[in-house]
Amino acid sequence: MKKILIASDHGGFHLKQFLITELKKENYTIEDLGTDNLDSCDYPDYAKKLVLELKKDTQNTLGILVCGTGIGMSMAANRDADIFAAICTNEFMASLTRKHNNANILCLGERVLGTELALNITKTFLNTEFEAGRHSKRLALFS
C-alpha cells in the first residue's frame, strides 16, 4: 500500500480532515502536510510542500491536494515536470487518470464535491494502477 501525502488550503480544510479520518479507518498511511486551521492561506505553498515531499519517493507515494475547486492546487502542482496532478470530479475520471496518465496527485474541490463523492473518487484513485503500455509512450512526450 502506498504512502499518502495530503495537503489543503483553508478552502479545502474540512474535506481534507474528512478524508484523513476515513482513509485512516482503512489503514492507509497518511501524512498531513497542512494547513492546520481555517485561517486564510496561499494554496501554492501547500502544493509546493506536497510536491517536494512526493518527489522523494514517487514510486511508493501518492498525493492528494484540496482547495475550493481543485483548480488552483492542480495548476500549482503541475509546474513540476515529475508531477501529474489531476482534478477529478467523478470516479471514472479518477480511474482513467491513474490507468492512462499515471497521475500521482489527486486534486479535489471542497466547494464542488460532497464528502461521500470525494471519498469514492479518492478510493478509486488510490486503488487504480497505471496500465503502462501505449500510455507510457504518451507520457514520455511530456519531457
- Cβ count near 42 (within 10 Å): 13
CA angle 50, 36, 127 (to 5 degrees): 45
Q: Which three cell numbers stand for residue 93?
A: 475520471
Is 100 part of the annotated catalytic residue set? Answer: yes
Among candidate residues 10, 14, 100, 135, the one labeled active-site is 100
Closest CA to 120 of 97, 99, 85, 93: 93
- Enumerate the active-site residues: 100
